Each structure stands twice: as C-alpha cells, then as structure tokens.
Amino acid sequence: MRKLNLSRRSFVKLSAAVGAVSAFASAPAPAFAAVDPAMADAADVKVVRTCCRACGKNECGVLVTVENGRAVKVEGDAETAFHSMGNCCTKSQSSMQAAYHPDRLYHPMKRTNPKGNVDPGWVRISWDEAYATIASKFQELKDKFGGESMFFMGGTSRIWTQHAYAGWLQLVGSPNAVTAWQICKGPRHFATQLQSEFAFSWMATTDRPRVLVQWGTATEISNYDESCRTTVDLANTADTYISVDPRKTGLNHEADIWARLKPGTDGALALSWAQVIIENNLFKDLFVKRWTTAPFLVVEGMEPSGGVMVNGIALEDLKPMATRLLKECDLKEGGSPYRYMVWDELAGTDAAHPLHGNDASGHLTYFDAETGLWEGEPDEVWDQFYDNPQPNLPELTVPGRIAKESPFNPEIDPALRGEYDVVLADGKGYKMRPAWDIWVEYLQDFAPEKAAEITGLDADAIRDMAITWASPLDPSTGYGNGGIQYGLAPEHACNSIQNNRIFDTLVGITGNWDTPAGNRGPTCGMFSGAGDAQPTIVTGHFADLADAGFHDKILGCEKIPMLSWWQQWADCNAVQNAILTGDPYPVRGGLCEASGFMNQGNSTKYWEALNALDFFVVQDLWKTPTAGAADILLPVYHWMEVDCPRISQGSTGAQGATCRAIEPPADCRFDVDIVTDVYRAMGVPYADDPVGFGLPEGCTWPTSEQLFDKCVAPMGMTWAEYKEAFQEHGWWDCREIAPETWGTYRRYETGMCSKPDLVTPAGNPMKGMSTPTRKMEIWCPQMETYMPDGKYNLPTWDPAPQSELANPSIRNEWPYLMTTGRRIPVYFHSEHRQLPWCRELWPAPRVEINPRDAADLGIAQGDWVWIESPNGKIRQVADLYHGIELGTINTEHQWWFPELDQAGGGFDLCTINCLVDGDTQDPICGSSYLRAYHVKVYKATEENSPFGNPCPCGEDGTPIICDASDERLHRWLPNYEIREEA
C-alpha cells in the first residue's frame, strides 16, 4: 500500500511554528517500550491495526506492536489512515503506561467508610456481589422514588462507554442523563438539529479547505475534531489561514489573519461577518431563497399557529407549533398549516388563485413542508451531478460527486426584503416581512465599526476577514472556500445555541453547507446512526420512556424549556439541586461511566451533591475524583483491550474499528457487557423483541460480539470477519463505500441528507433538511414555540452575563477577564495525570498571564498564584506569556492529583470549575458558564496558603507533584505482573 504524503508548501516554516508541539508528540519511547529487532524472530510479535482512543475524541488510525502478549509500541497507521495521516500523539504513545499502570482498577470494589471520609475504605468484592448490590439498590430506589430518582453520567465518545446517553436510562426509566455532551459539542448538535441537520457543525477536513477558518480551537496540539498532523496539513494546503482566538497558539502566529478577539464575543464577530457578507452580496442567493426560511413571511401581530413539529432524535411528541410565519391556514379556512408563504417578486398575477392577490409587483406562493415541494414543482428525483474538483485532497481519498444546484421549477423569485400587506382569514389586515429582512435589520447593530467596540478588533480587519472567507477563490466550482472549524469556546459563555446557529447560518449562506471542505455533519458509512454505529448505546426500550411521559420529567426543563424539545440530557445544575433539595423530586442514586464531575457546573457543589446520594456507582480505569464519591467501583477495559466498530463521529469520512491488541487484565470487564449483565441481574430484557432489534431469536441479553454482528451486518460480514478484513484492508473511505449518503455533496438536493429513510407519499426521497419546515431555519419556529417571547427566533447574540460588556463596573473588584479550557498536548480534559511520560512534560496546571500584568502583581514566572471568583478560589502556576492580552488570563481546566491518597483527588486545589457560577447558564440548552467571566489574581505566599506552602497540598499536607524530577513519578511505571492476578 502507498504511504500518505503531506503537502510541504511551507513545512519548514510551519515546523518551526509548532516546534514545541513536535517536541511533545515525538518524545522518544524508553527502552522497555521498543521491539528489539534481534529478538523479533525469536519473540511472538504481532502488529494490530486499530483505532486509538487515548483522547476519547478522534479516531486516529494506529498500529500496536505486541511482543509476547505485551504492547511495546504504538505508532500511526501511515498506510491506510488517510484521515489521521499517520499521526500518533504523546497521549497515544503513553497508552502503554495506562494499560499497565499499577494504580489501575483491577477488581470490583466497595466502600466501607462513610461518604465524606478522606479514605473511602475500598475493599475488593466479586462481580457477583457487585451486580447483586447494583440490581438491589437500583430496584429499591425505583420502587421507592421512581426511575427518575436516578441519573446517569456519561463522558466523551468512546462509543462503547455511551450507555448513560440511553442504555442505563432505559433500564430504570429515567430521563436524567447528565452528560459531558451538554458542554462539549452537544450545544452545536442541539443548534444544528434545531436549525438544519443534526451535528452539521463538523467541517470536512479531509477535503482540505481553500480558506481555513479555525475558530476558538487549536487542534494542532490536541484533538478535537481533527488533530496534530492533519491540522498542520490543513494550514499548509490552504490558500489563506484565518484564526479567531484570544491567544496566540503554536500555529496561529503563522496565520494570514489572526482575529485576537475578546473572550466571549464570538457571536458578535460572527454576526459582523454576516453583515459584511450580506452588504457585499457575497451570499448564495439561490440557497438562501430555496433552502432556508429567510424568505418566509413573518406577520406582525398574528396569533401564532402551525402544524405538528418534528424532531428526529426526540422520543415523544412535541408541542403544537406556534409560529408567526405565514401559512396557507392563516389565509383561508381549511388551508394547510405546512404550506409556508413567500412573496414571489416575478411580475404577473393570477386573479383566479385565492392566494395570489392582484399586486402587479408580485404575488404569494408557497413551499409545502409535507411534500418538500414548492407550488407546482414536480415530484422528481434530482439526478444532476458533477465531479468534485477540490484541490489538495490527501492520497487514498475518493473525491465523490456534487449535486448541481436545482433551480426553482416553475420559476419564482422569493423576496428577501420589503414589507407587504396581507388580509388573513379573520378578515383583518396585517403587515408582513421576510424573515431575512428582519435579520438584516438586526445585523446593523453588528456592522464592523460597532462590532469593533465589542470584540476589541479593528473594523477594517473584521471586514477583510469576512470578505476573504466568503469570496470564492474559484467561482467555477459552484461552492465556497470551506466551512468553519469551530471549537468549544463559543459554547461556554451563555450563548451556546445562538452562536452555533450563527455559524450554521454563515456556512449555509456562503455555499459551504454539505459541500467539499464544508460543514457536513456525522459521517455516513455502511453503518451509521445511534442504533448502528453506536450499538452499545441503545436498547429496545425507547418506547417505554416515551409512554412514561419522558420529556415532562427531565430535570431543568422548567427553567430551560427547550430541554423538553431536545430530550437528550437533563440539566447538570438542576440535577445537583434535586439531589441537595429534593426539588422538584428527589434524586437519590446514579451511575457514572467514563466521565467526571469537574466538567460542568460548580465542581465544589457537584462534589457535595455526589456525596449526598444514597447509592452511586462508577465504572472507570482509575480511582478518579468522581470515584471518591462512589459506593461501588467497576474496573473496565483500556482501549487496547477493546473490540468495537468505529466510524468517524465527524466529517472525516473514515470507517474502521478498534481491535483488541492485548488481553484484558485481572477482573476487568468490557463496559458493554457490564450493562447487559446489570440488565440480566435486574431481570430486564435488553431487547424485548430481539429479532426486531436485529439480534438472534432468544437473545435476551446479547454479548458485545452479537451487538457488533448487528452493527456490521450491512457490510455482509460478521464482526469476526469484519475485524479480519480491517486488518488486511485498513480504513475505508466512506465516500467510496457509501456513495449516495456520504460520497455525494449537497444531499439536501437528493433527499439523502441525514434522514435518507424519510420519503414522500410518492416514494421519492424528500429533499431539504430534517426540520419542520424542511429548510435551514434562520427564523426558527421550534424556538418560537418553546420560547414565545421571540428573543431567539433569529440567530442573535448577548454579552456574557458576568463580563464587562454586561456589567461595566465589574473590573473594579474582579479585574481580570478569564478564559480557560484550552487543549494541552499531553492531556485530554481530566485524563492522563498519572502517566509518567505525560506528567513529566506538564507536571502542574498553568495560568497564562501577560508579563506586564504579572509585574504589576509582583508575580514571577513559576510562582503559584491564587485565582478567585465570587464562588471560590484555586491555585495554578504563573506562565508569563505575551500571547495573552493585557487584562486577560488563560487557565487550565479539570486538574486533579492521583498522587494524593484521598477521595476527591485534590480536585478542589486547582480545578477551575470551582470558580463557576452554577446558576448562570445558556438559556436555551443549559450549558454551563465556563469562561469569559471576571476574577482576581494574586500571588500565593506562605502567609495566605494552607500548610504555609504556596504549592497546593493534600489534606494531610502532602504536596502535589509539580516538578518532572519528583521521585513519585517512578511509582507509576508499568507493572506487567499485576495483570495476571485473578
């Protein structure tokens, strides 16, 4: 097979730019991790092709070398992994230290000391005892308080650890999923499901955009949607590289345009881009008129009405639609609530038509959301395509095809601007305007000169970057220069949904929505969707939840009404309150699977809530801080011990697998089997109808292999056959194996967007999006229905509540604006703090502060400093950095210290979420206010620090590891023998 080659347009220059990153990623492995070539013939050596999950996010293709049953090397798959290009980061290489770690959980454990004790008093128990205890306690809580009295925590997307999103909920009938999803990609999935298509926030990086827009992310050093080598190649091959980020990163100081905006003002800048794009007529007129609600007419003063709403991922019927968009039913009795009216500006009238009127400048016509057709449009399958001309595609990728843009047939020209008179069925006259006209008026408040005052950027620079991105470099392609690769920062300042709606709109109106290098959503391969690509999540009990009034019981929906529409998570903060107060009902038990309490809300309050539970289970690799509040601990497999199908969660377009490289140790079990075992212990069938669920007859509690057989069945293989094929073939490009659902761009033209099974009565695929209107809902009737004050009908922005823009006097007491959450090359959120290679490179949490600010505060490089908000205070090490603006600091998140032998792992010493205001949230999805708020900073001294030590210490005075030379790191070196212990 051919090896993948990177573009080298400016590789030398770029290598220097990310030199620090390269130093981390290429750290040499110690001698014990290498295969001795001289011994290779004598040893039992094999190389396993698999999918790395060391960071929990991407699906980098790697090869694991195994000698005599032990993993001795992890390296990138440069032969077949076109999506990760042979990348293998520090976290991946350190996986061997995790798999053989002496402090790993190897047996089920139970608590013997009361909650709140520094020492939980863990003792080893059998799996039989663990299962019996869990089944008994779950049943007891369900009988006494109802299934809703339990919540289930889930973390990042390792696929096989996603049961908190559905499987555990369905076991007991609870609506309360508390997931990292609420603050990590979930808001953008929520926003795009609301406005266009589920998760169409991902950018197709393997298509290599002509203009790379990196917004609030630094994927070159740690994975988000793509990482490391892939991101560097994106910047290399792009004609223009635009970075939107408050701080200088290893890559963006080489950007052609760097927008150093004020933290929390992302939405204002994005709206300014929209204003510039529209003012300069750089939007795709046909897309806006044909595929969005922009031309739909908003009637002032009309009583809201509508038909049944659709949310393809919800479990239960939604509220009846209540929108002021003009529909046929508003114009005449018996009219359809699904026929949305637009004003056709083409001359000519039809006096015989009851809707057309007699205005010679135009007339009303409609789009029918029931059929997906405009008035008079034939119900035909669109079959006009052209080859993808995108340059710079990586080797081994398949270009795919692009659906041509379909015209209006019959020809119409929906108005986007203006005001019109209309007489409704009630006989009264009203004024109506296209939704676009209302939004354009709103956008004037974000013209570059005004946005400059908000964001701290130069008005001409704002105008220049918007025009650069939106002006096609090659108009002959028919699409734009590429989408927007946006990170989590825009989701963490109480504008989560609206910011993501703005991005979705920008991508759509510039011709970058489901086009090459545009934002395309989750990969569709030979298996896709929650019931296929993630077979370990769902069971056969969705209907049971719907019948039980699922959405009415979701905690947080009274404060955040849209949660009843979304139905995918309970609000984390509302769950904490219910635990501590019993309001609106008691929450007394829970389970955590591959997650932690430090990721959202206020960590101190969260810890208090977990310790107040009657019963709590944690399944994980380690005794994490969350495990310190548990009653039962369950040991699980490491990714090198796992078998599981894998498909790109984003727009990368790769399909492959995680394949077991080494045997699991001691008493550890696979998360998938743990779930089905607990179902069995409680006497609940995993699937009431196994055959209907795609399982063999009588398969009441399927094994993981049977679930994976179900998953890969569309490939015509069993799971065993699929793994063997993957070892030989390597990664599949989904554009080749799924040409209609992934190898085709502009799937809204062909009916193959995200709902290829949704068909018209005539049997043809229904074109458009999966929204109630079948359009990109720039004016969103779903939002209008659940939040009738109308504030969020259009993509809008408000200042972060605890920022200077919202409270001009806040700097008087809290002088520093704080951002946080940046990626660290050697860590992924709270993971890897006990791996020697990682901890040596990055031993302690750092706060970046401008040297001039540091001098004013008497702070030197390496000093421990206090960071304080009205909600708490913690310490981090000062890192003097000119790349952060004056008056702004950048902190690190989710720090804890495995070296401290105490229940909470010292999370309260340095975890930045101890400073969070848990009551201030995004009003639409409830995501926590995690950054862009104000704090004070001062030096930690002997006088103001516990134990007289500026360095944080455990409860017994033991200092944390904060130096690479600390001898305690040696205690974490691999222990191979412990794996054999039964």
> CB count, 10 Å around CB of 733?
22
pLDDT tens digits, 28-48 = 333 333 344 444 455 799 999
Read off φ and ψ for residue 847, nearest 5 degrees.
Answer: -115, 120
Across residues 703-707, what is the average pLDDT?
91
Tell me the C-alpha distance between 436 and 296, whole Å.
8
- Catalytic pick among 73, 91, 623, 775: 91
State percent of the chain over pLDDT 70.
90
pLDDT tens digits, 9-26 = 332 232 333 333 333 333
Q: How far is CA 948 from the centre of its chain?
A: 42
Q: Residues 677, 707, 691, CA angle at the centre, nearest 5°?
A: 100
Concatenate the DSSP letters of all residues of 601-642 into one string.
Answer: S-HHHHHHHHHT-SEEEEEESS--TTGGG-SEEEEB--GGG-
Encoded tokens for 650: 């984003």
Q: Give the orientation angle of helix 448-455 with respect to helix 459-470, to 10 degrees.
A: 110
Encoded tokens for 842: 């990055």
Note if the bond before 407 is cis, omega within 30 degrees: no
CB distance 298 to 765 below 8 Å: no
State percent of the chain over pLDDT 90.
78
Query: Which pLDDT value is given to residue 711?
Result: 87
CB distance 921 to 929 below 8 Å: yes
pLDDT tens digits, 242-288 = 999 999 998 998 999 999 999 999 999 999 999 999 999 999 999 99
pLDDT tens digits, 459-482 = 999 999 999 999 999 999 999 999
**Beta-bridge partners for 305:** 323
> CB count, 10 Å around CB of 149?
24
Across residues 811-833, what is the average pLDDT?
94
3-state SS record for 88-111: CCHHHHCHHHHHCCCCCCCCCEEC
Across residues 334-340, what is the average pLDDT?
97
- Which residue bears the tokens 């790379």? 212
- For residue 423, the SS3 value is strand
Q: Is 91 a catalytic residue?
A: yes
CB distance 468 to 211 below 8 Å: yes
**Which of these, 203, 206, 228, lies nearest to 218 by C-alpha position?**
228
Mean pLDDT, the chain, rounded, equals: 90
Ordered alpha helix ranges (H), 484-639: 496-509, 542-547, 562-566, 572-581, 603-611
Q: Residues 108, 702, 70, CA angle at the centre, nearest 5°?
A: 50
Q: How confident is the model at residue 351 (pLDDT cuts 50, 70, 90)?
A: very low
Q: Which helix (H) or strand (E) holds 129?
A: helix 127-145
CB distance 181 to 154 below 8 Å: yes
Tell me the C-alpha distance between 765 and 759, whole Å.
5
Give Cα separations from 256 to 13, 226, 253, 490, 614 (angstroms).
13, 21, 8, 22, 56
Tell me the C-alpha distance between 486 and 466, whole Å.
15
